[in-house]
Structure 1
């Protein structure tokens, strides 16, 4: 029986690499991109989940939350603009992911099935981020805490949760950030001397989705070239 996998944020970068890493002979993947629905709309996660369930014959085995935004939000902006940007990042990066995690857990409980959640967080969850990215770091810290809570709450039900914390990864989003802040200086802060490739993150996500032993549930895995070692 094939493993049914739902991935968000799969149009490029890490999400696309994760989707491409699965063998179609043993897995069926529904890869959701931003064109499928704006996760800033609180109603969208429910629709995406329902659509994915229908496409996968009523069964989802693995949820991979990768969708996210990384947008500057200077504290000098007007109050309303700053708050709107904060809320948008929280809704897309954390609340939409939480909504999908909730639906996944309820789905597995109702069918008395095991399942796996893989949440793509960030090094920023532990290290923090730039002065213009408080909201991004906070959203990813929330994702890590949520993953740990899910793992602790539902391990006995055969529901396992993992978080992956990349540092800079060579995607369009990270490339823009590197260019805006002097890439060479930031690279000097990475002992490995290079940012991660999306395929490196994808390899870990695939492992968590399919092969990680149950006792690993709740683990947070770093992919940052030793730029932040916990």
Structure 2
């Protein structure tokens, strides 16, 4: 990056990993904005379930950041049960909603970011928060979640390969269980002790740990690392 302020947009910043990322990025050399569905606490409101929300967020962020974004962190996502014995229409609706919020909105923002970087002729970075599920899979109720995160990793690698020569870098971070609202509910519903026994570290990750990885990718990761996928799962899944 340059010696001027780095302008950063973080999605899903109202709680958990996204909130920690936004807090980690604050500093005298950074102007960072966050998104949430409701827009409370100074965040930009954008409901990714709605058509056009990603583009609207991008335009709002550009306006607030004087027409320049240097880094985007795609963290927004949902994690909802979708049993295979649900009614056909309900199962498909849940599948499509997860894909829209977890993948399509992120893809729209990645596309806008790449075009923005290209138009400015400037370096830029994309940091996508995926999941261990991209490689290990998830529960039988979460086909859609695993598929969305696997696709996010593939998208990140494709962006990295396609635009590295233009100094547009892309990284993916794949957390395992992280102590957020979504993970706490899942752990409780599945018997927390049994799931924790599958994590050699003996505990789930803390949001601050993932936030530090995102900060490093946004600022310090060497360009030759573009396309890298960073795991943070307490050795519960090693590749």
The TM-score range, normalised by the shorter chain, is over 0.9
1:8 aligned onto 2:11: yes
Within a 5 Å distance, the mapping from 1:113-152 to structure 2 comes to 113-152=122-161
Structure 1: how far apart are the matches of 2:186 and 2:26? Answer: 32
* Runs of at least 5 residues in structure 1 that lack an aligned partner in the other structure: none
TM-score (norm 2): 0.96
Deviation at residue 40 of structure 1 after TM alignment: 1.0
Within a 5 Å distance, the mapping from 1:1-230 to structure 2 comes to 1-35=4-38, 36-230=45-239
TM-score (norm 1): 0.99
Deviation at residue 24 of structure 1 after TM alignment: 2.1
Deviation at residue 41 of structure 1 after TM alignment: 1.1
Structure 1: how far apart are the matches of 2:25 and 2:52? Answer: 29
* Runs of at least 5 residues in structure 2 that lack an aligned partner in the other structure: 39-44
The question of whether the paired residues in 2 share the 8 Å contact of 1:42 and 1:91 is answered with no
Structure 1: how far apart are the matches of 2:46 and 2:227? Answer: 29
What's the Cα RMSD here?
0.5
**Runs of 4+ with deviation above 3 angstroms:** none
Aligned residue pair count: 230
Q: Deviations over 1:162-208 (max 9, x none)?
A: 00000000000000000000000000000000000000000000000
